[in-house]
A = this chain, B = another copy of it.
Amino acid sequence: MPSRAIESPTVPDGDIQLESQQIKQAGLKVTAPRVKILSILENCGKRHLSAEDVYKELLSQQEEIGLATVYRVLTQFESAGLVCRRHFEGGQSVFELNSGEHHDHLVCVKCGKIVEFADSIIEERQARIAAENGFEIEEHSLVIYGVCSESGCQKKA
């Protein structure tokens, strides 16, 4: 069965100790904004957040962290391999914790629901196609846009 769903890990409550550890291991100084942002990524319940989402969450928690810092920190986390940045259609990028395993996405164009999946057959075909064209793959992005099974989404517009 080459195709399997990847479920979001059920994250435990924020653990400053743990988050500081991860940040340190990533080679970054442990600062309040970084710990806080990582904690939100781990515990807010959603796996895919835009910088704006993170910022709003911070505001709702009375945190005094600027939007510029959110962008900076997310970019640093990306460079450090802690998070992955995705560019779905619709303007802004979304960030998700790096699960370590590559996967692609199914996005509902109605409700925005996101399902992750990995498929070895597709991966293999991609590798072959790249090779046939003399390309050395660096990364790839596969996003399937559609309508999910929610009744509200199925409704014809």
Contact = CB atoms under 8 A, between A and B. Distances in A.
A143 B144 contact: no
A24 interface: no
Each complex incorporates copies of this chain amounting to 2
Contact of A115 (B126, B128, B133, B142): B133
A109 B137 CA distance: 10
A155 interface: no
Interface size class of A (residues with CB under 8 A): 35 or more
Contacts of A132: 3
A138 interface: yes
A138 B146 contact: yes
Nearest to A109: B138
B143 A140 contact: yes
A88 to B, nearest CB: 9
B149 A134 contact: yes
A3 B136 contact: no
A3 B129 contact: yes
Interface in A52-90: 87, 89
Interface of A: 3, 5, 87, 89, 106, 108-109, 115, 117, 119, 121-122, 125-126, 128-130, 132-149, 154
